[in-house]
Amino acid sequence: MSPQLLTYKEKIKKLSTRIVEAQKPIRILDSVKLPPHVTSELRKSNYKELPKVGPEHYEKHSELGFNADAKQTELREIITDIHGELGKEDELGRLLVVTVEQYLTVIDLLKNRGKKEFWEFSRRLYGSPKDRIYNDTNTISDLGRMMYGILSNITAFDPAEKPKEDLTAENVVDQLNKRFQSYFPEGSVTAKLSDGIIADAAAGGDSVKIRADSMFSERDVGILEVHEGWVHVGTTQNGTNQHIAKWLSKGPPRCASTQEGLAVIMEIFSFRSYPKRAKTINDRIIAIEKAEEGANILEMIEFYRTEGYSEEDCLQNAKRIYRGGTLDGGAPFTKDISYCKGFIENYNFMRSAIRAGKPKLLPFLFVGKVHVDDVPLLYQKFEEGIIDAPKHLPPLFRDLSGLSVWMSFSNFLNVVNLKKVQEHYDRLFNSHL
C-alpha cells in the first residue's frame, strides 16, 4: 500500500515493526562475551599472567551472525523512510530515529571488539563514570565514591548470620515459577535453567534464565523476582503487548539506565535489597573508572579481592567489565554504571512528577523498554490512542497512594540541610558511642 494511503497509526506500526525485525540478530551481550580461553588461562597462571585477547579471538568465538555493513545500510534506509513518511519534526518519528541510530552505534561497538576503540562506542551508548549527573558538578564517579564510604561502613551491620546459599538453581526455578504465576497469571513468563550466562540470572523476552551451577539464598529469590521478573521481563511483556508501538518491546542501550535503575528501585522499595548487594552494584562504578584509567584485568581481580569478594566473584565481576574490550585496560564495557545512574534518573523523575502533580506518568516507566525522558511523550501518545497502558505493574505502581506520599516527603526532605543534620548527630554519636 502506498505510504500516502496509510494512517498515522499505520505508519508508526509499520516503521516500528521494521525496527524490531532489523535489530533481531543484534545480540550485544552474547557478542561481547570474553573468549573461553581467558578464564582458563587466568586460573592456570594463578591470576599472574594477562591472557591475549584481540579482534581475531572474538571473530573466532563470537560471530555476529549478520553482515555488519549490510545491517547498517538497512538501518540507514529505515531512518530515511521515517523522515520521508513522518517528517523530520514528528516527535514519535524523532524517537524512532534515535532508536535506530543507537543500533547503528551498537554495530560500530561490535566491529571494534578487542580494540581500544571499543570504549569510545561503549561510552557513547552507556556513558562513563566521568559523566555529570543532570549537568551538575557531581559525576557518577562522585556518587560511587560517596556510596562506597557509606556502604563499606554499614555492610558490617548485615544480619550476623549470613543467609545460607543452600538453594540450587533448580530450587530457584521452581520458586520463581510459582511467584510468576501470580504476577503473570496468563502463564506467559517462566524461569528456566541456563548454562550459557555470566551472571547468576538473566532476563529474556518471556523467561528468566538461572545459571545452572550457581547456589542461592532465599533472599536472592526475592531479588530475582522483582529485578528480573517484575522489571526486565515485565517491561518486555508490556512492550510486546503494544498493538502499534512495537519498538517498545526491544531496548536499545539508551534504555539500559532506566531499566536497571527501575530494577534497583524495586529491590529497594520492596525491601528486598541489602547492604552487600548495594555495595556490589556500586563497586562496579569504581571498577569501571579504574579500567578507563588503565587498570588491567589482573589488577581488577585484585581490587575485588581486597574488597572481600570470593575468588569466583572476583573473576566474574572483572569479566563483566572487560568483555568486548581489551584486558590490558583503557577500554571497558561501561554498561554496569546503568544501575546507579538509572536509580538517580528514575528517582528524580518520580519526585518531579509528584511535585508537578502528575503521578499518572509513573506507571508509564513500565510501558516497555523506554528511557525515562520519553515518558511524557509516551503518555501523550497514550491519550491519543497510539500507546497502550502497561498491563503488568508492581503493586505500588498500580495503587500510587503510598508512592505519592513517599515522593512528597522526599521532596520536603530535599530542602533540609543534610550537612547540619549530620553534624548534629555526629556530636551525639561521638558522645555516646
Q: What phi and psi, each to the nearest 5 degrees, are found at residue 56?
A: -65, -30
The pLDDT of 358-384, averaged and rounded, is 97
Amino acid at 241: N
Q: Tell me: the pLDDT tens digits for 194-213?
A: 887 777 888 988 999 999 98
pLDDT in the model for residue 341:
95
Above 90 in pLDDT, residue 62? no
Of residues 80, 70, 29, the one with CA closest to residue 335 = 29
For the sheet containing 190-194, what is the strand order?
A: 190-194, 207-211, 201-203
* Interior angle at CA 16, CA 13 and CA 21, nearest 5: 120
Distance of CA 314 to the CA centre of its chain: 21
pLDDT in the model for residue 49:
96
Whole-prediction pTM: 0.92
pLDDT category, 299, cuts 50, 70, 90?
very high
Above 90 in pLDDT, residue 50? yes
Q: Tell me: the pLDDT tens digits for 136-168?
A: 889 999 999 999 999 988 876 665 456 678 899
Strand partners, 209: 192, 202
Q: Tell me: the pLDDT tens digits for 268-284?
A: 999 999 899 999 999 99
pLDDT in the model for residue 387:
98
Above 80 in pLDDT, residue 45? yes
165/390: higher pLDDT: 390
Residues 6+ apart with CB under 8 A from 171: 216
Task: Report residue 433 as a C-alpha cell.
Answer: 558511642
Distance CA 6, CA 86 (A): 11
Residues 6+ apart with CB under 8 A from 411: 351, 354, 355
pLDDT in the model for residue 159:
55
The radius of gyration of the chain's CA atoms, rounded to the nearest angstrom, is: 22
Distance CA 8, CA 10 (A): 5
Above 80 in pLDDT, residue 97? yes
β pairing state of 207-211 and 190-194 = parallel
Residue 304 three-state SS = helix
Above 90 in pLDDT, residue 320? yes
Of residues 187, 215, 186, the one with CA closest to residue 200 = 215
Distance CA 379, CA 92 (A): 12
pLDDT in the model for residue 421:
82
Above 90 in pLDDT, residue 246? yes
pLDDT in the model for residue 163:
67
What is the average pLDDT value for the chain, to the nearest integer? 93
